[in-house]
Structure 1
Amino acid sequence: MLPDDNRIIDVRFDEQGLLLRQTDGRVLALPIADTSPLHKATPEQRREWVLTEDGRGMNWPALWPLAPDGMVSVWAIEQDALYEHALARLQQVHRDLSALPPDERELVALWRMEAGINNGGFMQFFCNWGEETCHLAIEALGRVGAQGTRQCLNDMLNVAAHYGETEEMVSLSDLPGMLPPDERDRPYALDQAFWKYPESLAKAVVRHYAPRVASHTG
């Protein structure tokens, strides 16, 4: 079954969290975080959910604004599973990224990109993982068709090229000051553009990699 065909057909709550039954018979069990509006919602409010257009996400309009893929999204859950698989394989090869097959290398690079930029911005990602991983993530974004995110990351890398002009050891917070004056706001602007997610990256990643990983492991 292709990812797009596997929809949510039943939703239940239990003491642990949320249970989503899908077309293929699988049930996804999701804990509800203490910070989630669902944690404090009444039973009546919890029942007031609506499915996204593709049937693979859920929104609660009375609790928070509608999200295209849903505030609970099967796309995001399946993307996380792909990332976890790739990271587990990386551990098995003693963190030697070059020892992984191409699909798994790209998934690791995409995970590093999202984790790094969402946690501390592009420069945190770049300083933690370097130019090679950045280029690998750019290639992967092109492969999955996430052209808006790819352009954003490519622009970030072009800005980072200015930082290679000095051999001084500086802290991450000092790096923007090393740019020309008219470029100093550029890193934050690009981070903001990335955080808006120009397209559904989870959907693009799952559509491209899920069938490929399944064919390798099945």
Structure 2
Amino acid sequence: METDEQRQAFEDYSFEVTRRLFDQHGGKLDQLPEKEQEVVRIWRLEADMYNGGFLQYFCNWGYENFEKTQAILTKLGAVKSLAIITEYEKTIAVLKEEERIKELWDIPRYLDEYLNEEQQQRLNELDELYWENPDDIQLLCYNYYLKQDA
């Protein structure tokens, strides 16, 4: 199987697992087997990072999901992607104590008050670095989650 086919196979599998999460389990992630929970977390990361960047991913799924995804990236050996999302989260963590933040989607509203122009530019750079696909996460996931089944 060619690497492009392997990437596509994992992407198809991740969509299938995510569909099943909602169709069979009403979106309750803890009702899926652990391996499939990990696949959903990778799907969330990839879908949101490539759609709207880290802020979209983080604000949609939260800190606990972020931490569990860090552990998955570590297990997969996706060290560059892990470094990117970790640096991004550490940069926006300055807002953790901000009283006006009632929900995660309030974070983008106040970032300008906490980050200087250089820091904001770095966040843009981090999104762009992720979009370069430095670890080829889809291929890593194929090899980790599907290869033994192929």
TM-score range, shorter chain: 0.7 to 0.9
**Deviation of the 1:166 alpha carbon:** 0.7
Partner residue in 1 for 2:126? 190
The structure-2 alpha-carbon separation of the partners of 1:177 and 1:200, relative to structure 1 and needing over 3 Å to count, comes to same
Q: State the one-letter code of the partner of 1:75.
A: Q
Higher helix share: 2
Match of 1:161 among 90, 93, 98: 93
What is the TM-score normalised by the length of structure 1? 0.60
Higher strand share: 1
**Deviation of the 1:172 alpha carbon:** 5.8
**Deviation of the 1:173 alpha carbon:** 4.6
- 1:147-190 per-residue CA deviation (whole Å, 9 max, x = no partner) reads 11111111122122112121215756534303332522221111
Match of 1:209 among 136, 145, 149: 145
Q: Distance in 1 between matches of 2:140 and 2:78?
A: 7
Cα contact 2:21–2:28 (8 A) shared by 1:
yes
Q: How well do the aligned residues superpose, as a CA RMSD in angstroms?
A: 2.1
**Deviation of the 1:109 alpha carbon:** 0.8
- 1:104-125 per-residue CA deviation (whole Å, 9 max, x = no partner) reads 1111111111111111110111
1:174 aligned to 2:109? yes
Q: Which has the larger radius of gyration?
A: 1
Partner residue in 1 for 2:36? 104
**Structure 1: runs of 5 or more not aligned:** 1-5, 7-55, 58-72
Partner residue in 1 for 2:46? 114
The structure-2 alpha-carbon separation of the partners of 1:202 and 1:100, relative to structure 1 and needing over 3 Å to count, comes to same
Q: Distance in 2 between matches of 1:93 and 1:196?
A: 34
**Deviation of the 1:211 alpha carbon:** 4.2
**Structure 2: runs of 5 or more not aligned:** none
Which secondary structure does the structure 2 equivalent of 1:199 belong to? coil
Q: How many residues align?
A: 145
Cα contact 1:124–1:172 (8 A) shared by 2:
no
Cα contact 1:176–1:187 (8 A) shared by 2:
no
1:81 aligned to 2:26? no
The correspondence of residues 52-71 of structure 1 with structure 2, limited to 5 A, is: 56=2
- 1:10-43 per-residue CA deviation (whole Å, 9 max, x = no partner) reads xxxxxxxxxxxxxxxxxxxxxxxxxxxxxxxxxx
What is the TM-score normalised by the length of structure 2? 0.85
Cα contact 2:55–2:108 (8 A) shared by 1:
no
Which secondary structure does the structure 2 equivalent of 1:165 belong to? coil
List 4+ stretches of structure 1 deviating above 3 A.
169-173
The structure-2 alpha-carbon separation of the partners of 1:175 and 1:207, relative to structure 1 and needing over 3 Å to count, comes to farther
Q: Higher relative contact order at CA 8 Å, sep ≥6: structure 1 or structure 2?
A: 2
**Deviation of the 1:209 alpha carbon:** 0.5
